Amino acid sequence: MRLTVEHRTHYRYETLAHHAVQSLKLTPAQFDGQKILSWSISAEGCTIGSEFTDGNGDIISTLTANGPMESIEIVVKGEIETTDTTGVLRGHKERAFPAVFLRSTPMTKSSAAIRKMADKVAKKHKGGTLLECAHGLAEAVSNAVKYAPGTTNVHTTAADAMADGEGVCQDHAHVLISAARHLGIPARYVSGYLFADQHGAAHEASHAWAELHLPELGWLGFDPANKCCPTDYYIRLGSGLDGQVATPIRGVHTGGGNENLDVTVVIAQSQQ
């Protein structure tokens, strides 16, 4: 499938900002499931450079801006060809050992409820394959955390979402990661885009899911929010221990006071 992306992130500052530095995880890496046909990142009045590939195989670039400035708008435009690999991440070049993703973070710290859910799934699939157990975990998270937009925020932890029983894709990913790590399965957070859900219905274009590492398959994606593994409707941007690490844009600014953030993402299918 060929998909076009237009992703605009607009920062408006309360007062004039003096300086800003942003780390951008906004360029998809190529692997068997996606091929970059064209891709660009721009921001008027800013310098974007210092591109490198980190240990996770994700492409990072750096934005710097010197003021005084009222706002910064980062514009991503591109076209990408995706292939359904049934969620398996094949041909993705990375150097980090899977065991790195057994480490817990404040966002993915487990709770008694998460551990109980994970242990129940493990018991149910005792004697079966690790793949069956992983699918069971994803299903359990889907059932335990109802998809409810607007009920959580970027600071909501896995334990909080599990206790509340509702959340969004970020929360589903964090809970699944927490449960998998409790069972000794390396797991990580993935940020990206989604053209539509598995039924073809419209969906918020910015999306997140989890990848679990299974010895027989390598990294395998799970999207509990849509009760499926990633397909050719998904564009993978980057990964990390949790959503705060994998976020597409992170950085700091001096001056400017409070900032207002406006994000728009449009994903469309292009002509073959």
The CATH 3.10.620.30 domain(s) of the chain lie at: 86-246
| N-terminal to C-terminal alpha carbon distance within the chain | 8
Q: At what angle do helices 169-182 and 130-144 cross, to 10 degrees?
A: 140
pLDDT in tens, 214-262: 999 999 999 999 999 999 999 999 999 999 999 999 999 998 888 899 9
Quote the pTM value.
Answer: 0.94
For the record, the structure tokens of 94 come out as 């990375």
The CATH 2.60.40.2250 domain(s) of the chain lie at: 2-81+249-269
Label each residue of 228-250 as H, E or C.
ECCCCCEEEEEEECCHHHHCCEE
CA distance 159 to 110: 6
Q: What CATH number should be reported for the domain whose range is 86-246? A: 3.10.620.30
pLDDT in tens, 108-129: 999 999 999 999 999 999 999 9
CATH of range 2-81+249-269; options 2.60.40.2250, 3.40.50.1580, 3.40.50.800, 3.30.300.180: 2.60.40.2250
Tell me phi and psi for residue 210, to 5 degrees. Answer: -125, 155
Contact 257, 15 (CB under 8 A): yes
